[in-house]
Structure formats: C-alpha cells, structure tokens
Structure 1
Amino acid sequence: MLRLARENSSWGYRRIHGELASLGIKLAASTVWNILKEHGIDPAPERDRTTWASFLRSQAQSILAADFFETKTLTGATLYVLAMIEHATRRVRILGATAHPTAAWVTQLARNMIMDLQDTGTEMKSLIRDRDVRYPTSFDTALEA
C-alpha cells in the first residue's frame, strides 16, 4: 500500500484501495487512509503538485528561452540585442544586435539559431519568451518548423 502511494503520487486512498481489492487484498478504504496518514503520506492532490522550478528542471534538456534587451554604445546609441539560453547547459547565445530590429532580421536570427542547434545535435521542444512586439509571427513559424 505504501509503495503504491509513493510510486503513484496522483492516486488517492480510494484508488489505492481499489488496486488492493483487485489484487485480492480486502480491507476498508478508511483503513488505507489511516495507514497512509500514520506514515505521513499526504492526500494525493498535495503529493502531486509540480512547481514551476521542478518542471523546468525536469524539462531543461528541451527548453530554450529568448529575450531582447537594450544596451547603450559608447556614443550613446541604443542597440537591441536578441539572446537565447539553453536551460540544460545554461549556455547563453547572443544572436545579434541592431539599432533597428526588423521582422526579417529577427526571423533570420531564429533560422541561424536552428542551424546551430542542428549542427550540435541539440533538439529543443519548448521556447519560453515574452510577448515583445519585436517577435514577428515569422519568428514563431521558423522555430515551429
């Protein structure tokens, strides 16, 4: 019973009771609940919570994050920089910098990033980014492909 609870964190005491009954073990559902409570095993909804941090850790191999930031040159000009980070390796890639980011420029940087990832054999499944207006739909389309 305890092993079932630990290995199946989304199962509540009633589900565990049903599994035990299918194995021919006869006892009341309240007995299962009492035993789990005695051993400090919380009810299923409290055991099954996944935090954002634990989700990121478990999926890090396939997550890429992108963001724009602004910087000033020595002459005072503002440049917009597109950077991406691979969560698994924490490798930051500065894809490019320009004073005037256009949709074509941003899309080309996405294509370049895809080719770099393919060259290294890295497969990304998820991209985390904000809703910055500098990301054109062609940026998302290039990454989806």
Structure 2
Amino acid sequence: MILNVVADARYLREKARADYLDAERGLFERWGPTAGRNLTDDDRRLLAVQGKAVGWKRLTKIAHIATAQTIRRWHRKLIGITRAKSGGKPQTSPVVEALVVKLAVENSYGNDSWGRRRIAGALLALGHDLDAGTVRNILRRHGIPPAPNRGRGRDNDLQMAVETLADIAIDFAQTVVIDAGRICRLYILLAIHIQTREAVLVGITEHPTEAWMLQCARNLTMAEVGFLQLTKAASIQMDHDAIFTAHFRKTLADAGLDVRFTPRRQPWKNGHIERFIQTLKNLVLHKFIFLGENAVREAISIGIRHYNQERPHQSLDNRPPKPPSGSAPDLSKPIIRIDRLDGAIHHYVRAA
C-alpha cells in the first residue's frame, strides 16, 4: 500500500514536470528565443498553473522562460486574486466554475478538445446558461489554454449562405483496420441532413464497387425507411469522386431527387458533411485501432448516436439534432458523467 502511494506521487511529480516543459516548449515554438519578452497574460497564467503543480522549489531547476520567483508572482497576480463582490455582472458560483474546469480538463483529447462554445453548450444541457465569454474568462483564470484548432481558417456556413443548399450531403470517410492479421482500408459512406444536422451511416465496405454503391442508393431512397424519404429531401449533393458513378446518380434521380455536384477542388463547398466527417474522426476514428469491420461499425454507430442525440450544435443554439424528449434539467440533482466507448466520449446529465 505504501509503495503504491509513493509510486503514485512520483508519477504525479513527473507528469507535472512534463506538462510544464511542454508548455514552455510550445511558447518557444511560437515566439522563438524572445519568448520571455512576448508572453501574453494567458501565457503567464498557463506557466503559473503548470509551475505551481511542479512545486516552486523544484521549478527553480527546470524553468527557462522566467525564474520560479517571477512565475510565482504571476500566479499571485493573475490567478490568486479574487474578483470584486459588488457591481458589474453577477459572479459565477464556485460550483459552476468548478464544473467548467472539470469539463475542460476531462475533454482535452487532441483536436477533440472542448472549446468555450462546446463547454457552454454542455452547461446549457445541465441547466447552467453561461455565455462563451464567461467560459473563456474562467478558463483563463485557471490557466487552461484554448482548445486546439478552435479558430476557423474558412467559415463554410458563411461562404455557402449565398448559395441554394441541397437538403442532403454525402461523402466518404476512410479508416485503416487490422483484420485477420492484415491491414486494410475501409470506406465509410455518410450522409447528413443540412438543415437539421442529423447524420447517418449509409454503409461500410473494403471494396466500394458499383453494385455496392447501387445498394446504398436503394437504401437511401427506400420507401418509409430510407433516410432521404424520412427527411423528405428533394436534393442531394456530392463531390466529383468517380466512386459516385452514373448508375448511382441515376438511381437517386429516378427517386425524384435533384442530384448536384460541388465544384471541383473546393471541398468547403460541401462543408457540412466535411465538418461532420472531421467531427466523427475526432470523436471515434482517431482514438482506436480497430480489429475488423464490425468494430468500426459499432463504434461509428455509437458516435453518430451521440452526435444526433447528445452533442450540442452551435448552429442549433447548442441543442442536439434529435434531443431525447424530457423536461428541463433539475438543478437540485447531481451531475453524472456517462461514458461512451469506454470513456472515449463523455456526456454529462443530471441524475434522474
């Protein structure tokens, strides 16, 4: 028992040291050798939080950008201070502030890190209406850096707003699996209803032959159960990939759909499905090494169900496309975390 406690303490010390050095390395990569003269307050908060976790005495041996004494002063000034208790916007309760930090820390997986808007959406589902700016300020106070890739180099919705959008968009994702000792690539056909953002898995195969594509078209247009019939879609768009054969397009057209192509070499023109595929990769495909097609199918099905029923969407006022029916969350109930795919996806609800 004592050995386990000692080992855990040593692990935490080494982890804190590695986290601090990673933070310094990121700042040197951004600013170069002049990093110490170009730090923002957010950078100083980050170093202060990581430095405190290391311990001020041990920090003197590894700090390079600034001395341990300077970093400790930053901690007192930028994190240790309290806000005024009167005037201005009401102070966020410590319970809600702790919840913001919890959501940010527990959901920091690479490109799937939760940013301020994603956290605000999760809070809304739990009965706390915080704007993204408040979430950002809380994260800053606690020295939590922004989520990676939060900024958008191209605003797909804005560029497509001047055009007439199709009802449905389709495209392929790909993933590599190990099946019976061999490495193979699977092709995953996905569809999304642009207005509601509801998404479905159309099919998965190692060999997307024309016969397989025709079967996918029939499944999409099947009376009463096909996705295109359920959504009452009148049009569908896709890119110029040769995999969308003439027979595939004809099957869709024969079902009464207006089949459209996006411009060549302009994937942002099909931005909704492209963004969904990236989300699915971050949620599921990049987190596992799959052993066979069935494992991929099960993981994607769980990921899409989370996407449709639980994940807040900024374009839908932080509501999921198909939220489960029920009353507003009871703020007196405790918050519980539901793990999907063995903890790869987190969802938070109020206890029943």
What band does the TM-score fall into relative to the shorter chain? 0.5 to 0.7
One-letter identity of the residue aligned with 1:90: R
Structure 2: tracts of 5 or more residues without a match: 1-157, 255-352
Counterpart pick for 1:97 among 199, 204, 222: 204
Q: Identical aligned pairs, as a percentage?
A: 32
* Distance of aligned partners of 1:119 and 1:135 in 2 relative to their CA distance in 1, 3 Å threshold: closer
* Distance of aligned partners of 1:67 and 1:51 in 2 relative to their CA distance in 1, 3 Å threshold: closer
Structure 1: tracts of 5 or more residues without a match: 1-49
Note if 1:138 corresponds to 2:247. yes
One-letter identity of the residue aligned with 1:52: M
Q: What's the secondary structure of 1:101's corresponding residue?
A: coil
Question: Which residue of 1 is the match for residue 175 of structure 2?
Answer: 71
Q: Aligned partners of 2:252 and 2:232: how far apart in 1?
A: 11
- Kept in 1, the 8 Å contact 2:188–2:204? The answer is yes
- Kept in 1, the 8 Å contact 2:220–2:229? The answer is no
* Distance of aligned partners of 1:67 and 1:119 in 2 relative to their CA distance in 1, 3 Å threshold: closer
Q: Aligned partners of 1:68 and 1:51: how far apart in 2?
A: 22
Q: Aligned partners of 2:235 and 2:203: how far apart in 1?
A: 21
Counterpart pick for 1:112 among 219, 231, 246: 219
Quote how far apart the aligned CAs of 1:128 are.
1.3
Note if 1:52 corresponds to 2:160. yes
Q: Aligned partners of 2:203 and 2:228: how far apart in 1?
A: 19
Greater length-normalized contact order (CA 8 Å, ≥ 6 residues apart): 1
Q: TM-score, normalised by structure 2?
A: 0.24
- Could you say which structure has the higher strand fraction? 1
One-letter identity of the residue aligned with 2:175: T
Matches within 5 A, 1:17-36: none
Q: Aligned partners of 2:228 and 2:185: how far apart in 1?
A: 32
Q: Aligned partners of 1:128 and 1:80: how far apart in 2?
A: 18
One-letter identity of the residue aligned with 1:117: F
The Cα offsets for residues 2-26 of structure 1, whole Å up to 9 and x where unpaired, read as xxxxxxxxxxxxxxxxxxxxxxxxx
- Equivalenced residues, count: 91
The Cα offsets for residues 86-129 of structure 1, whole Å up to 9 and x where unpaired, read as 11221111111111110010111011011113663x32122111
Q: Aligned partners of 2:171 and 2:243: how far apart in 1?
A: 10
Q: TM-score, normalised by structure 1?
A: 0.55
Q: What's the secondary structure of 1:89's corresponding residue?
A: coil
Q: What's the secondary structure of 1:73's corresponding residue?
A: strand
Moved over 3 A (4+): none
